């Protein structure tokens, strides 16, 4: 059950946090994992851990916001593996600010990574999936795809776009046996979150972490592994009847 044996998986932003957890779980389930990250060392560290545990993995340096970088990465993947069964569009960045405190450069930066990155990687993957008769695309959206959260204007914009791209791809390629879904987490405690808090709330780190935890009715943030296990289900053959769906993983936030 939930075996990915014989499948080739690509995880963007696989060097840390949620992406690292997904890549690790996929490797444990016998997938050949290509770990894409703009950070070479991070991608190699994830790959080394998968291989040390007996899995198959390869690090590929990729800036998902750059079309040439994405094209080169997917040429490497297809040239090495010969097929592409699973794409997890996980790479993303965050931003704090309402519309008045969102400079144009920051807005464009969020768009390039969180929206354009999903577009470029999906555009690179779909032709290969069509040729081989199917595949699975999983996008990382957010609960802000559904609801408003204070001071997350640009980030919310980007995750709303991820949700609608998910549904569009699912409809366009359902007859080609390509499934496309997204996961919509609430706050997940990762090194990214810790760094984000340090940068944006210096001197208030502990207080802000407690506030972020309390936002979820369960009283804590999620873990990367919890996201990874849902990703495993959605990318496995056990979810073969699921497409075009957005799965909240929110500790009860949307029930408030």
Active-site annotation, residues: 155
Bridge-based pairing of strands 178-185 and 135-140 is parallel
Residue 203 three-state SS: coil
Closest CA to 84 of 31, 37, 19: 31
Question: With the CA atoms of 238, 244, 250 and 256 taken in that order, what torsion angle do they form, in degrees rounded to the nearest 10?
Answer: -130
Nearest-angstrom CA–CA distance, 83 and 131: 9
Write the DSSP symbol of residue 167.
Answer: H
- Rounded Cα distance between 25 and 48, Å, is 14
* Token pair of 127 as six digits: 């032709």
| CA end-to-end span of the chain | 34
Contact between residue 37 and residue 12 where contact means Cβ atoms under 8 Å apart: yes
């Amino acid at each position: 059950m939930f075996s990915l044996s014989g499948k080739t998986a690509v995880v963007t932003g696989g060097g840390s946090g949620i992406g690292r957890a997904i890549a690790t779980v996929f490797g444990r389930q016998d997938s050949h994992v290509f770990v894409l990250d703009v950070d070479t060392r991070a991608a190699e560290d994830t790959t080394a851990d998968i291989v040390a545990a007996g899995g198959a993995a390869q690090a590929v340096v990729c800036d998902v916001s750059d079309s040439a970088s994405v094209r080169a990465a997917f040429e490497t993947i297809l040239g090495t593996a010969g097929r592409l069964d699973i794409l997890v569009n996980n790479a993303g960045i965050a931003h704090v600010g309402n519309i008045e405190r969102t400079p144009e450069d920051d807005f464009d930066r969020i768009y390039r990574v969180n929206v354009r990155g999903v577009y470029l990687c999906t555009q690179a993957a779909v032709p290969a999936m069509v040729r081989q008769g199917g595949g699975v695309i999983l996008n990382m959206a957010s609960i802000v795809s559904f609801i408003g959260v204070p001071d997350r204007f640009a980030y919310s914009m980007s995750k709303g776009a991820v949700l609608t791209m998910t549904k569009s791809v699912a409809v366009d390629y359902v007859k080609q046996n390509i499934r496309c879904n997204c996961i919509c987490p609430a706050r997940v405690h990762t090194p990214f979150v810790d760094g984000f808090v340090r940068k944006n709330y210096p001197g208030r780190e502990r207080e802000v972490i407690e506030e972020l935890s309390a936002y979820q009715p369960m009283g804590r943030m999620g873990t990367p592994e919890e996201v990874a296990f849902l990703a495993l289900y959605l990318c496995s053959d056990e979810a073969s009847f699921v497409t075009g769906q957005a799965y909240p993983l929110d500790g009860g936030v949307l029930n408030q």
